[in-house]
């Protein structure tokens, strides 16, 4: 996310400019992490020879410090007046998604492995992503300031709502979670560095703006490390011994069945409410996205030590890549329509 307000004509960040069909190093890194974890799980275990559990804690703290450093107060203020738009996005993120999961669980839940079904619930209650929501909105020529506010608000709400919802539903399924303790840990690991970064932005923003290409690499590298550790722990506990390729196919299909209905729903409701095209773009991209950047650290805190950790995070891994490719194509179409309208 940029450190200042982005004009609507600003070029989208690199992740949004990726051409369709081109696989970037981030995707390759996540695939490599899963492969290495599958064949040599002892290397990446939390308490393995590399002690990656400690390094992931440090990386997550630094990651959210950088997110706070990149948050512009001016952009939040300028996007704050569109309350109907913000309400729609947050309701989609924390209400409509879980309802859609509940409907799917009622219809086909018996045919899906229990841990994968719970993983899809975890996906359903995650916050919206920050960087790619803003990037796609900029590429589509939507209201970037409103996207920044919605993505940031979603992240902050997720510190409390995601553990609460996970505890309520997964606790009833036999996955014990101490909700108060977990909320405190999530706040310490995610909210504290976020707030600290934003407070120090006044003095350090210029420096971090100069090194943004490096901080972007660091951002993604931390996520790849989290994926490596999660799968290493799960493979060592029998992930591939107890499940096969069918699990990957089910996770991918489930991700598609989450994404496309939400894209349709946000677009239809936006038009029914009479939103401008710029606001519709914000609703579609912010209301349909789920964050891998917050999802993996929170999973570590919520499910750390759970033998099915790899299965529980599989839906968000699949959803993340599918949403990037699909939303990038949609953003280009939106941009073309806006350009034709202006012309």
Q: Average pLDDT over the chain, rounded to whole?
A: 82
169-190, pLDDT tens digit by residue?
Answer: 876 665 556 667 777 877 887 7
Q: Are 338 and 144 in contact (CB under 8 A)?
A: no
The whole-number average pLDDT for the span 225-244 is 77
Taking alpha carbons only, the member of 126, 140, 6 closest to residue 70 is 6
What six digits make up the tokens of 52? 């990656």
Q: Using DSSP, state whether 48 is helix, strand or coil.
A: coil
% residues pLDDT > 90 (the chain): 27
What pLDDT, on the 0 to 100 scale, is given for residue 21?
39
What pLDDT, on the 0 to 100 scale, is given for residue 2?
41
* Chain position carrying tokens 């309350």: 83
The whole-number average pLDDT for the span 231-239 is 77
What pLDDT, on the 0 to 100 scale, is given for residue 13?
45
Other CB atoms within a 10 A radius of the CB of residue 2 amount to 19
3-38, pLDDT tens digit by residue?
Answer: 444 444 344 444 444 444 334 677 788 788 888 988
What pLDDT, on the 0 to 100 scale, is given for residue 236?
81
What pLDDT, on the 0 to 100 scale, is given for residue 311?
87
Lowest mean pLDDT among 23-32, 134-143, 206-215, 284-293: 23-32
Taking alpha carbons only, the member of 297, 325, 6 closest to residue 142 is 6
Confidence of residue 94 (pLDDT cuts 50, 70, 90): very high
Taking alpha carbons only, the member of 259, 321, 314, 307 closest to residue 284 is 259
Q: First vs last Cα of the chain: how many Å apart?
A: 29
pTM of the model: 0.77
What pLDDT, on the 0 to 100 scale, is given for residue 339?
63
Q: What is the DSSP string of 249-293?
A: HHHHHHHHHHHHHHHHHHHHHHHHTT--HHHHHHHHHHHH---HH
Q: Locate the domains of the chain by residue range.
A: 47-338
More confident residue, 6 or 199: 199
The whole-number average pLDDT for the span 100-114 is 93
Q: Helix crossing, 309-342 with 25-39: angle to 10°?
A: 170
274-286, pLDDT tens digit by residue?
Answer: 999 999 999 999 9
Q: Which residues contact 38 (CB under 8 A, 6 or more apart)?
A: 231, 235, 240
Instruction: Classify domain 47-338 at the CATH topology level.
Output: Na+/H+ antiporter like fold (1.20.1530)
The whole-number average pLDDT for the span 303-328 is 83
More confident residue, 238 or 174: 238
Q: How far is CA 316 from CA 110, 131, 196, 269, 298, in A?
A: 21, 16, 27, 25, 12
120-136, pLDDT tens digit by residue?
Answer: 999 999 999 877 788 78
Distance CA 249, CA 46 (A): 27
Report whether pLDDT(331) > 90: no
Q: Are 12 and 136 in contact (CB under 8 A)?
A: yes
What pLDDT, on the 0 to 100 scale, is given for residue 175?
58
What pLDDT, on the 0 to 100 scale, is given for residue 173?
61
59-92, pLDDT tens digit by residue?
Answer: 888 877 887 887 777 766 766 778 999 999 999 9
The whole-number average pLDDT for the span 280-308 is 86
More confident residue, 125 or 212: 125
């Amino acid at each position: 996310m940029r450190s200042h307000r982005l004009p609507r004509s600003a070029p989208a960040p690199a992740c949004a400019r990726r051409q369709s069909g081109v696989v970037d190093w981030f995707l390759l890194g996540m695939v490599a992490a899963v492969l290495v974890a599958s064949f040599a799980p002892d290397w990446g275990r939390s308490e393995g020879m590399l002690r990656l559990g400690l390094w992931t804690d440090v990386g997550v703290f630094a990651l959210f410090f950088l997110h706070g450093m990149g948050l512009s107060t001016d952009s939040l203020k300028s996007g704050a007046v569109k309350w109907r738009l913000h309400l729609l996005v947050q309701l989609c993120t924390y209400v409509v998604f879980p309802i859609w999961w509940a409907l799917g669980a009622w219809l086909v839940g018996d045919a899906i492995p229990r841990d994968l079904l719970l993983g899809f619930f975890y996906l359903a209650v995650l916050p919206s992503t920050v960087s790619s929501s803003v990037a796609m909105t900029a590429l589509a020529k939507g209201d970037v300031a409103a996207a920044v506010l919605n993505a940031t608000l979603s992240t902050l709400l997720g510190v409390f709502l995601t553990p609460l919802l996970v505890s309520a539903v997964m606790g009833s399924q036999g996955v014990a979670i101490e909700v108060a303790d977990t909320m405190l840990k999530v706040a310490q690991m995610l909210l504290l560095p976020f707030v600290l970064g934003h407070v120090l932005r006044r003095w350090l923003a210029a420096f971090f703006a100069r090194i943004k290409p490096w901080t972007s690499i660091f951002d993604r590298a931390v996520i790849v490390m989290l994926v490596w550790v999660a799968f290493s722990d799960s493979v060592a506990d029998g992930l591939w011994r107890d499940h096969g390729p069918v699990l990957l196919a089910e996770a991918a299909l489930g991700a598609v069945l989450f994404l496309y209905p939400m894209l349709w729903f946000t677009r239809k409701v936006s038009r029914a409410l009479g939103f401008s095209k710029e606001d519709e773009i914000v609703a579609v991209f912010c209301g349909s996205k789920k964050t891998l950047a917050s999802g993996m650290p929170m999973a570590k805190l919520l499910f750390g030590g759970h033998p099915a950790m790899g299965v529980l995070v599989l839906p968000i891994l699949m959803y993340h890549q599918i949403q990037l490719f699909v939303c990038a194509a949609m953003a280009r179409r939106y941009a073309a329509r806006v350009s034709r309208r202006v012309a």
